[in-house]
Amino acid sequence: MRHLKTPLLALAAVVVGLALWAGCQTAKTPAPVPNPVAGLKPGPNDPKIAYITAKLLEIYHYSQRPLDTELAGKFFNGYIDSLDPRHEHFLQSDLAEFAVYRTNLDGLTMNGHSTADLTPAFAVYERYLERFQQHSAYVNELLKQDKFKFNSDEKILIDRRHSPFPKNLDEAKQLWRQRLDYEYLQEKLSREISETNGAFTIKLPADAATNITATLAKHYRWSLHMTTNLDSDSVLQAYLNALAHAYDPHSDYLNAPRAQDFSMQMNLSLFGIGARLQEDDGYCTIKELVPGGPAVKSKLIKAEDRIVVVAQAGKPSVDVVDMELEKVVQLIRGPKNTEVSLTISPVENRAIRRVVTLVRDEIKLEDSEAKAKLVEMPDGKRLGIIDLPSFYAPVDLGTAGRATPKYTSVDVTKLVKKLKKENVSGIIIDLRTNPGGSLEEAVKFTGLFIKDGPVVLARNPDGQVMVDSDRDPSQLYDGPLIVMVNRFSASASEIAAAALQDYGRALIVGDTSTHGKGTVQNLNPLRALPFDWSVPISATNDPGAIKITIRKFYRVSGASTQFKGVTPDIVLPDVLNYSTLIGESALDNALPWDTIRPVKYENLNLVQPYLGQLHARSDARLATNQDYLYIKQDIAQFQKFQLEKTAPLNEREAIKERERVATQNRERDNERLARQPSPIKVYDITLENADQPGLTEHVESPVLPVVSDNPGTNSATLKPAAAAAAKKSPPAVDPMLDEAERILEDYISLLSKNSVLMANH
């Protein structure tokens, strides 16, 4: 992350002067608003925190927009959606009552007294709490009656983000009843289905219904407890986050706990399972997996999967849907080497639940370092593959770090030198799911593959454009190069891929586009500002921090990486290509794509002359590649699910769908097991062995069966069978990487022929 050139003290001076400035402005007169129910109230410093947050956004955000009526509407809608993302609690009459806020939050927040009127934050939350209590009471009535039948053709709409709010309480109860039916059916199916000879059978213990009712009742009690015990800091967090997100999705207000979490993320010291979590539509959603963490190593959890239930060893499971994210994190975190079970709702099929048991571990920096493989083809040709999980560099957080700092560019240099020494004919850089990191390292990394020149442009709000360039005329590697990306490649990884594409230096292969995050944020701790706080700031009274988008990135060709991302030269089939929930374009209030004047750079033209032939050869292979035929089947199923956005409340239909998925997976596993062993040899190259002579042959780690679709399955029961099951595990497949290797072989061949022709000419 790059920081504002404006020193913090200068920023503080601006803030100190806000009270004088506010006294001179013409304040918008707030309209009368409903009074909140007696209960939660703002903390003594909260009105000033809100005012400062709004003022800093006005002054320093890239858009340079005042908090006006239009932004106030987005602010209001964002706050409502953050509390009720499925649109099932607030009634239309509630929204009508609060309509005065929609166009008046600007006046209430910037009221001319250097403090904000936080009445809307707490009045709206109190109403939400009232509706949630009604929801909980109604569910308890239904559970007591225990009249659950699943033989109708009724379906539940899974994604209600864009659906209208219920007109009245009766309509809301209909939604609550459907939601409970769905949860009951999922619990029932996960307990009662067993697979025998390829068919599903029903095996229900006599007390199963009682147990399911008790489980759901406990989940709702816990959810009500968490909601009613939300503190004023959490209400302020949600409210001011909605304000920041009205400007763009990457600006945030962070209360003290979340500011600490952000610091840990920047230091690659994340949660005990190795995942970055984010609240999304009431769900705890996995937004990013940390390389080497327990979640990645399980090979059973993906970005955009939702965590719906958390169970710690020896403790009852907890339903975390609609739970505050900080509290979910507290449940997931724990001591090293202890187990936590997560019930996952996978991104590819929200109607399925899967239980994954993980052993908490430290997330070590070594697991996030660059690493390489040398792939030796049957004809003796050698290819290099460098896996780069992030663009890392030391982060000074005022704590002791490594004795030897780690830099991406230094580590990649070491790996490339080893690959060159082993006479590889070409190299693949794998930036899939690389979330970015250090801009400086991304520039240095790009410089390893070009001689010198501009790499990325950054535009300030005032229109000033800065150029980050590689100034080293040396070029570490000038051979055939492919860069792999996917929809989760973001920020710094997009900058590197875009530069290598614009220079015509590398062939970009992957999903339809990268993420599209082309903005820079600056983190400002509010405690550093010498403001006249109502209560003195201390370790236990931290006002938090604000993260503000301050710049946009542009390619050397002048096009922004914001919103559209980077489009690969060769797009490969992937389910992610069809998701409407991934990428910058899926986020509300994302800054738009635009262009600026390009800068002068040298187009090496090493890709375009060969692109037609490379496309044709790749298409011909994919037409008969079995793994890509499977991917096409998955795409069709995903598109169907995404279009319908519903799940059946009919038990037979639900069982039929589970049977289809299980049969399909079993048939694929059997087909892969029957394949002839690959003649390709693979060798591992790490930063530890890159200086050593020779090569270390790769050994595939078996995937142990520590997962079950049955929440009642004890992971300890599964572990004794791990060794036997591992022998029958199908080989790990990465169809996109396999095809990238074939494309690289073609690319090497075409470049070689052209070199011969040029030499003869």
Q: What pLDDT, on a 0 to 100 scale, did the predictor assign at position 261?
A: 62
Which residue did the predictor score with more confidence, 471 or 271? 471
Angle between helices 232-247 and 46-60 in degrees, nearest 10: 10
Burial level of 593, CB count in 10 A (0-12/13-18/19+)? middle
Q: Which of 25-34, 50-59, 524-533, 604-613 has the lowest mean pLDDT?
A: 25-34
The residue extents of the domains of the chain are 8-127+229-253, 134-225, 255-359, 369-395+404-644+676-753
Which residue did the predictor score with more confidence, 369 or 727? 369
Helix (H) or strand (E) holding 715: helix 715-718
Rounded to an integer, what is the distance from CA 435 to the centroid of its chain?
A: 9
The pair of structure tokens assigned to 673 is: 């097991």
Helix (H) or strand (E) holding 454: strand 453-459
Question: Is the four-CA dihedral 595, 596, 598, 599 of positive or negative sign?
Answer: negative
d(CA 632, CA 575): 8
SS3 587: coil
The pair of structure tokens assigned to 429 is: 């850089």
Can you tell me the mean pLDDT for 487-516? 98
Q: What pLDDT, on a 0 to 100 scale, did the predictor assign at position 367?
A: 66
d(CA 270, CA 274): 6
Which residue did the predictor score with more confidence, 25 or 296? 296
DSSP states of 550-566: EEEEE-TTSBB-TTT--
Residue 563: left (phi > 0), alpha (psi -120 to 50), or beta? Answer: left
- At residue 147, what are phi and psi to the nearest 5 degrees? -110, 65
Are the C-beta atoms of residues 283 and 321 closer than 8 Å to each other?
yes
Give the contacts of 129 (CB within 8 A, at least 6 positions apart).
Answer: 39, 227, 228
Q: Is the pLDDT of residue 526 over 60?
A: yes
DSSP states of 259-328: HHHHHHHHTT---TTSEEEEEETTEEEEEEE-TTSHHHHHT---TT-EEEEEEETTS--EE-TT--HHHH
* Cα 607 to Cα 170, 305, 503, 685, distances in angstroms: 62, 36, 9, 28
Q: What pLDDT, on a 0 to 100 scale, did the predictor assign at position 5?
A: 34
Give the contacts of 720 (CB within 8 A, at least 6 positions apart).
Answer: none
Catalytic residue among 373, 517, 547, 564: 517
Are the C-beta atoms of residues 79 and 242 closer than 8 Å to each other?
yes
- At residue 97, what are phi and psi to the nearest 5 degrees? -65, -35
Are the C-beta atoms of residues 155 and 641 closer than 8 Å to each other?
no
d(CA 430, CA 369): 13
Burial level of 703, CB count in 10 A (0-12/13-18/19+)? middle
Give the pLDDT band of residue 703 (cuts 50, 70, 90). very low
Q: What mean pLDDT, rounded, does the chain reach?
A: 86
d(CA 755, CA 551): 42
384-416: burial string, b at 16+ Cβ within 10 Å, e else: bbbbbbbbbbebeeeeeeeeeebbbbebbbbbb
C-alpha angle 176-177-178 in degrees, rounded to nearest 5: 90
- 369-395+404-644+676-753: which CATH topology? 2-enoyl-CoA Hydratase; Chain A, domain 1 (3.90.226)
Angle between helices 256-266 and 325-332 in degrees, nearest 10: 50
Q: Which residues pair with 266 in a beta bridge?
A: none
In 3D space, the residue among 458, 434, 457, 454 whose CA is nearest the CA of residue 446 turns out to be: 454
For residue range 646-692, what is the model confidence (pLDDT) as tens digits?
999 999 999 999 899 999 999 999 999 999 999 999 999 999 999 99
Are the C-beta atoms of residues 253 and 243 closer than 8 Å to each other?
yes
Q: Is the pLDDT of residue 565 over 90?
A: yes
Q: What pLDDT, on a 0 to 100 scale, did the predictor assign at position 476?
A: 98
Catalytic residue among 491, 560, 708, 715: 491
d(CA 601, CA 604): 9
Q: Are strands 696-697 and 681-685 parallel, antiparallel or unpaired?
A: antiparallel
For residue range 170-212, what is the model confidence (pLDDT) as tens digits?
999 999 999 999 999 999 988 765 444 444 445 555 566 678 9
Can you tell me the mean pLDDT for 24-49? 62
Which single residue is written with the structure tokens 């039916």?
Answer: 181
The pair of structure tokens assigned to 368 is: 């996030």
Helix then strand then coil, in percent of the chain rounded to 5, is: 40, 15, 40
Helix (H) or strand (E) holding 181: helix 169-192
Q: Alpha helices of 337-478 — where are they, by DSSP H?
A: 408-421, 439-447
Rg of the Cα atoms in the chain: 28
In 3D space, the residue among 459, 502, 503, 443 whose CA is nearest the CA of residue 596 turns out to be: 459
Are the C-beta atoms of residues 705 and 298 closer than 8 Å to each other?
no
Active site residue 48: no
Angle between helices 651-673 and 169-192 in degrees, nearest 10: 40
d(CA 415, CA 15): 48
Q: What pLDDT, on a 0 to 100 scale, did the predictor assign at position 316?
A: 86
Provide the total of helices (H) and of strands (E) in the chain, helices listed first. 23, 24
Q: Is the pLDDT of residue 262 over 90?
A: no
Q: Is the pLDDT of residue 349 over 90?
A: no
The pair of structure tokens assigned to 671 is: 């087909």
Helix (H) or strand (E) holding 382: strand 382-387
Can you tell me the mean pLDDT for 142-155? 94
pTM of the model: 0.80
Give the pLDDT band of residue 228 (cuts 50, 70, 90). confident
Give the pLDDT band of residue 396 (cuts 50, 70, 90). low
Which residue did the predictor score with more confidence, 363 or 128? 128
Which range of 330-334, 341-345, 399-403 scores highest in mean pLDDT? It is 341-345
Give the pLDDT band of residue 342 (cuts 50, 70, 90). very high
The pair of structure tokens assigned to 566 is: 């980077």
- 255-359: which CATH topology? Pdz3 Domain (2.30.42)
DSSP states of 189-204: HHHHEEEETTEEEE--
* Cα 545 to Cα 11, 250, 425, 528, distances in angstroms: 13, 14, 49, 9
Are the C-beta atoms of residues 304 and 275 closer than 8 Å to each other?
no
d(CA 492, CA 408): 12
Q: What pLDDT, on a 0 to 100 scale, did the predictor assign at position 193?
A: 52
The pair of structure tokens assigned to 392 is: 């890392």
For residue range 113-124, what is the model confidence (pLDDT) as tens digits?
789 999 999 999
Which residue type is seen at 37? V
Which residue did the predictor score with more confidence, 616 or 159? 616
Which range of 252-256, 313-317, 493-497 scores highest in mean pLDDT? It is 493-497
Question: What number of residues does the chain have?
Answer: 761
Q: What pLDDT, on a 0 to 100 scale, did the predictor assign at position 725?
A: 42
Give the pLDDT band of residue 165 (cuts 50, 70, 90). very high
Catalytic residue among 81, 322, 367, 502: 502
Active site residue 502: yes
Can you tell me the mean pLDDT for 281-290? 84
- pLDDT above 70 coverage of the chain, percent: 84
Q: What pLDDT, on a 0 to 100 scale, did the predictor assign at position 7?
A: 33
The pair of structure tokens assigned to 677 is: 């062993």
Give the pLDDT band of residue 324 (cuts 50, 70, 90). confident
Active site residue 491: yes
SS3 3: coil
Can you tell me the mean pLDDT for 344-372? 84
Q: Is the pLDDT of residue 154 over 80?
A: yes
Which single residue is written with the structure tokens 């003649």?
Answer: 679
Q: Is the pLDDT of residue 709 over 80?
A: no
Are the C-beta atoms of residues 244 and 258 closer than 8 Å to each other?
no
Q: What pLDDT, on a 0 to 100 scale, did the predictor assign at position 15?
A: 31
Q: What pLDDT, on a 0 to 100 scale, did the predictor assign at position 555?
A: 99
Q: What pLDDT, on a 0 to 100 scale, did the predictor assign at position 717?
A: 31
d(CA 46, CA 240): 10
Burial level of 630, CB count in 10 A (0-12/13-18/19+)? middle
